[in-house]
A and B are shown apart, each in its own frame.
Chain A
Amino acid sequence: MSYLRGVEVSPSFPPFAALRDYFGFVPYIYRLQTLVPHLIEAEAELARAVLVEDGALSRIRKESILLAVAAANRNLYCVAKHYQTLQLLGVPERQAAQLLGGYRQAGLSQADEALLDFAIKLAGEGHCISQQDLAGLGAHGLTDEALLEVILVTAWANFLCTLSVGLGAKPDFESPEIPNQVLERSHAIDTIEPNRGPFLRSGPDDDKTFAFFREEIGFVPNLFRAQTLRPEALTAEAGMVRVILLKDDLLNRVQKERILLVVSAVNCNAYCVAVHSEILGNLGIATEHTDQVALDYRQANLSVADEALLDFARKLASAPAQFSGSDVESLRSHGFRDEQVLEAVAMTAFTNFLNTVQFGLGAKPDFAPRLVLRPAAKIPHLSGSESRPTEREGPPDPDAESVAKVQRGDLDAFEELILRHSKRVYRTLIGILGNPDDAQDAMQDTFLKAFQHLAGFEGRSKFSTWLTSIASNTGLQRLRERKPMESLDDDAADQDGGFRPRQIRAWTENPEQLYSRTERRSLVEDTVMKLPAKYRVVVVLRDMEQLSTEETAAALGLGIPAVKSRLIRGRMMVREALAPHFLDSAKGVAT
């Protein structure tokens, strides 16, 4: 039994061979995904990295965690699978059965009991995990490497549970009975405090996947920076991000980001909500809209199909026991193909994975969360306008009419948009690339990309804001291709505090009178060109293009604090460079 159609795949399909190697058979859950073979490939890699690779924890310990979490989630498919695997690994059936609920009476070592307690809490109530929980495990002699593995295995257990429910996978083996247990889920807290971690030390703040994250999403989320102790897991997770999230051929990217957002909100994971709000912002979706989707997508003016997609993901994530084939039918009735349904299931499961990892690691927010998420009412139904997030009703978008014309097929209207916005796009690009020829070249790419994606532009942000984000992403991509060393994402230097002004002599009263405007312009241009890219771009966007701090942050995929600190550094560097030209000769040193 399963909900989706499958296709025949050769038994020698490499991921199947690998899975046979890891488990002794190809679990049904993977065979159900043959419509999108890349998924199987990426999942097999993550299974290998999390489960099979030698690490600090033995395979039996990892499979024990998987079984205990599956039993706590009351997932028959996963229970049967892990129960069988443990026995294949030589664990007596009686011992495996004790992991199904009565492990506290099973005479496990204190460390193993604490480990399972932790995993079950993390899997079911991740938002309640604190530094103390990890310190408690540390006291049992578990190293940070081991703790990272526990977290990854628990996240993987949640992934498999969600996936199996969404696919309607029937167990590969007869499932043992899961005893009815009263789980102690009483960690009632009102508000989630997202900024508590990180709980574990991380390895070197560098990894071969960092370049991938910078390229694809504009920055390296702290969630991944916190996992450098296990580089092979990072590589596999990056593979999942690539295959599940970034591909645009089945569900589109915005639909997938929305699933991430809604499922993270249901799980009360403020960290992931903030990251994906930022990313949606970079894709041209206005903050107000994103907040509304996270809080209550039914009030967000989505299409009926998009709303159905989020109903599906939310139910799968928050009420798996009620999920059934009729939910899949409902998506089909809204025009979704089986490949897309499969992707929605994988996206939901992977969100649960990422949320669980973040809860376990307490990764620090990359962006200040704007929303307060409450576990008591996971999806608050807002009433009236008072409880809506702050409305920022700006004036109507002056480009709306031209945009609509282009969307209706009027190509000439696009030329108007180019002419109207060429200056802004050029400035953005020169700020990033620091070179007029490159900037003009990248301008073409920017407008071509904008044209390609204009059909999906829903007018939730201004066209000019949306276009600036595209320009910024285009510029950043080129910058990375050209100078891998010159990164906008290196925040070490923001914190060094080593910048001390050297020029502390007074300036003349009217510096503008000393040089003509043309002279001043070339002085400023020369100075700004010499700034490191990370400072140059904020100075150009903020002080020349005169975007707001928020707009600058959104365009660059940076947090507001990062924009502010880079802006002050950038301005101070410009001040130092300009000072010799504008000093007041009448006054001496002012110290």
Chain B
Amino acid sequence: MGNLLDGEVAAAVRLQLENHLSHCETCQVLYDSARKTLRIVTDSGSFDLPEAASRPIAEKIMARLRETRVNTNRDPDRS
């Protein structure tokens, strides 16, 4: 079913699965709810780092890099 959700099954297998789904109510419910789950998870925008958070982090990283570079330049053995 994972492959079916991801559209990764061969046409023949897909037909068989769909045929089974049309007869089996439990599988139908499972497949339908799994499909909806996937949609909700994908579209929820979860764990999206806010724009406002990314710049300060970038600045912190750049500050550390510039600091390291200054130190490295001072000490030629470490280059």
Contact = CB atoms under 8 A, between A and B. Distances in A.
Interface string A427-448: 1001100000000100110011
Given A448-B65, A504-B29, A505-B29, A443 B36 contact: no
B47 A525 contact: yes
B9 interface: no
Contact of A503 (B2, B5, B33, B69): B33
Contact of B40 (A419, A506, A520): A520
Contacts of B36: 507, 511, 582
Contacts of B61: 418, 443-444, 447-448
B65 A567 contact: no
Contacts of A564: 2-3
A544 B49 contact: no
Interface string A560-577: 000011011001101100
Nearest to B1: A568
B47 A540 contact: yes
Contact of B58 (A422, A431, A582): A422
B29 A506 contact: yes
Q: Which DSSP category, helix, strand, loop or mixed, fits chain B's interface?
A: helix
Contacts of B78: none
B42 interface: yes
A591 interface: yes
Given A426-B47, A524-B46, A544-B46, A414 B41 contact: no
B29 A448 contact: no
A427 B37 contact: no
Contacts of A415: 58, 62
Contact of A512 (B40, B49, B54): B40
B73 to A, nearest CB: 12
Interface in B26-75: 26, 28-30, 32-34, 36-49, 53-55, 57-58, 60-62, 64-66, 69
A481 interface: no
A521 interface: yes
Given A426-B49, A430-B47, A591-B26, A419 B65 contact: no
Looking at B1, B36, B39, B41, which has the most chain A CB atoms within 10 Å of its CB? Answer: B41
Nearest to A519: B44
Contacts of B58: 415, 418-419, 422
Contact of B65 (A451, A546, A574): A451
B77 interface: no
Contacts, number: 124
Nearest to A422: B54
A304 interface: no
Contacts of B32: 506-507
B30 A501 contact: yes
A549 B49 CA distance: 23
A527 to B, nearest CB: 9
Interface residues of B, number: 39
A426 B42 CA distance: 16
A575 B5 CA distance: 13
A497 to B, nearest CB: 14
Contacts of B26: 504, 590-591
A544 B43 CA distance: 8
Looking at B34, B42, B46, which has the most chain A CB atoms within 10 Å of its CB? Answer: B46
Contacts of B44: 517, 520-521, 523-525, 544
A272 interface: no
B47 to A, nearest CB: 5
B70 to A, nearest CB: 11
Contact of A411 (B6, B39, B40, B69): B69
B40 A511 contact: yes
B47 A411 contact: no
A423 interface: yes
A578 B29 contact: no
Contacts of A565: 2
Nearest to A542: B6
Contact of B49 (A414, A422, A523, A568): A422
A560 to B, nearest CB: 11
A414 B62 contact: yes
A56 to B, nearest CB: 45
Nearest to B5: A571
A521 B46 contact: yes
30 contacts: A411-B69, A418-B57, A418-B58, A418-B62, A419-B55, A422-B54, A422-B57, A426-B54, A448-B65, A504-B26, A505-B29, A506-B29, A507-B36, A512-B43, A517-B45, A521-B46, A524-B44, A543-B38, A543-B42, A544-B47, A546-B42, A549-B6, A564-B3, A568-B2, A571-B38, A582-B33, A590-B25, A590-B29, A591-B25, A591-B26
Which 4 residue pairs spanning A and B have beta carbons closest together?
A568-B2, A426-B49, A422-B54, A418-B58
Interface of A: 411, 414-415, 418-419, 422-423, 426-427, 430-431, 440, 443-444, 447-448, 451, 501, 503-507, 511-512, 517, 520-521, 523-525, 528, 539-540, 543-544, 546, 549, 564-565, 567-568, 571-572, 574-575, 578-579, 582, 590-591
